[in-house]
């Protein structure tokens, strides 16, 4: 149940981050990829929050995700907009395989940080490298460390389409400063007419990276021209108060 995105957690994600909701990333990557002449891959596509607007904008984009529940939301969003819902499939960071090579791979909104093992993360970066065409670009967003060290215990809620209530309680259970990881218990609850009708517990694990540490990992994987930008301002070095750090790197020609 670690980082699984089951039925209730996927439902909450889709209510909280519906298709098209932007944190600055959709506009940023539309601009950064405006001259992209080849196919684009989004690993960990989720409910299609980012994927569907990019497809609507005309990008030749593919995506994968390990959660069938999340993919269900993505496929429905595509079908509702008369878009090709066959462009997404099941797959993991560690095991995805495509015959084609991509002009760009984009991992927005910190999804890469779901990989908590350093050796696995480095292997995934190499897999990205291998799936890029010569000259292809890798673009990855990471959350800054400040977002990992805040207090837990919040209980946000969402009203469902049928008028029921979904709640989420997050409890931080461990922070490992050596491994640079956090583990949080996420308890999802569905309430109907003041009665609890369903509940789901997930372990949510994340890893934070230092800016230079991640740049070195990219170079070790074979990438060149590594650029780190703060809060979707390309070329502006991340500052200590940045919430998002966006990396761009290139596979050599």
Residue 1 within any structural domain of the chain: no
Q: What is the pTM of this model?
A: 0.95
Same-domain status, 21 and 95? yes
Same domain for 151 and 139:
no
What is the per-residue DSSP string for the chain?
Answer: -BT---HHHHHHHHHHS-TT--SSHHHHHHHHTTT--S-EEEES-TTSTTHHHHHHTT--EEEEES-HHHHHHHHHHHHHTT--GGGEEE--TTT---SS-EEEEEE-TTGGGG---HHHHHHHHHHHHHTEEEEEEEEEEEE-GGGTSS------EEE-TTS-EEEEEEEEEEEETTTTEEEEEEEEEEEETTEEEEEEEEEEEEE---HHHHHHHHHHTT-EEEEEEETTBTTPPP-TT-SEEEEEEE---
pLDDT digits (tens, 9 = 90+) for 71-128: 999 999 999 999 998 999 999 999 999 999 999 999 999 999 999 999 999 999 999 9
Indicate whether 159 and 179 sit together in one domain.
yes
User: So what's the pLDDT on residue 48?
Assistant: 97
* Count: domains in the chain: 2
Within a domain: 119: yes
Domain shared by 182 and 240, yes or no: no
Mark whether 124 and 87 lie in a shared domain. yes
Answer yes or no: do 166 and 122 share one domain.
no
Residues 26 and 138 in one domain: yes
Give the CATH number for residue 34: 3.40.50.150
What's the domain range around 101? 7-144+209-250
């Amino acid at each position: 149940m670690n980082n699984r995105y089951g039925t209730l957690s996927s439902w909450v994600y889709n209510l909280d981050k519906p298709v098209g909701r932007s944190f600055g990333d959709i506009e940023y990557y539309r601009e950064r990829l405006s001259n992209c002449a080849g196919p684009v891959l989004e690993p960990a596509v989720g409910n299609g929050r980012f994927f569907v607007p990019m497809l609507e904008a005309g990008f030749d984009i593919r995506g994968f995700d390990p959660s069938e529940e999340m993919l269900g939301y993505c496929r429905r969003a595509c079908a509702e907009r008369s878009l090709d819902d066959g462009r997404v499939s099941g797959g993991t960071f560690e095991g995805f395989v495509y015959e084609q090579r991509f002009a760009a791979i984009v991992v927005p909104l910190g999804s890469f940080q779901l990989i908590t093992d350093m050796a696995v993360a480095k292997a995934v970066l190499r897999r990205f490298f291998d799936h890029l065409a010569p000259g292809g670009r890798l673009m990855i967003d990471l959350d800054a460390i400040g977002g990992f060290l805040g207090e837990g215990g919040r209980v946000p809620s969402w009203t469902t389409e049928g008028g029921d209530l979904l709640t989420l309680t997050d409890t931080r259970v461990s922070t490992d400063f050596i491994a640079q990881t956090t583990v949080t218990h996420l308890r999802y609850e569905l309430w109907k007419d003041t009665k609890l009708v369903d509940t789901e517990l997930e372990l949510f694990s994340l890893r934070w990276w230092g800016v230079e540490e991640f740049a070195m990992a990219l170079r070790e994987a074979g990438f060149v021209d590594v650029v780190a930008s703060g809060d979707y301002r390309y070329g502006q070095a991340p500052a200590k108060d940045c919430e998002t750090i966006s990396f761009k790197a290139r596979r050599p020609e």
